[in-house]
Amino acid sequence: AQKVTQAQTEISVVEKEDVTLDCVYETRDTTYYLFWYKQPPSGELVFLIRRNSFDEQNEISGRYSWNFQKSTSSFNFTITASQVVDSAVYFCALSEANSGGSNYKLTFGKGTLLTVNP
């Protein structure tokens, strides 16, 4: 069964601090995909990144970076030099790639509320 755990319910930082959001997943599939979504106070869900299980290269996009480690089943998200606009709920999600069964399904963690204070 798929499972995603975001152990940090809430994080509060001061602007310009770096912050890492943790994501730990469980899956029996050898091929799977991991996602991060952002939900700002306005409520919409914004797709940030998708990684597949065969690509463990870290990814950087501006102030955002992602660290994928299969050995620890983790897909952590770091924001460097945080800004007030980064304040949001961040969701990690997992999708299995099998051709039958649950390949339709995206399993979400419960989210981490990040508050960046000026």
Partner 1 sequence: NAGVTQTPKFRVLKTGQSMTLLCAQDMNHEYMYWYRQDPGMGLRLIHYSVGEGTTAKGEVPDGYNVSRLKKQNFLLGLESAAPSQTSVYFCASRNVGLGGYTQYFGPGTRLTVL
Given the rule CB under 8 A, which residues bind partner 1? 9, 31-33, 35, 37, 43-45, 47, 50, 52, 91, 95-99, 102-106, 108-111
> How far apart are CB 35 and partner 1 at their closest, in Å?
7
Amino acid at site 54: F
Give 57 or 99: the residue with its C-beta nearer to partner 1. Answer: 99
Q: List the one residue out of 73, 64, 55, 70 whose CA is nearest residue 20.
A: 64
Based on CB atoms, which residue is closest to partner 1, 11 or 97?
97
Closer to partner 1 at the Cβ: 31 or 72? 31
Minimal CA–CA distance to 115: which of 4, 7, 21? Answer: 21
Shortest distance in whole angstroms from residue 59 CB to partner 1: 15
For Cα atoms 86, 96, 106, give the angle at the middle one, nearest 5 degrees: 45
Report how far Cα 83 is from the mean position of its chain's Cα atoms: 18
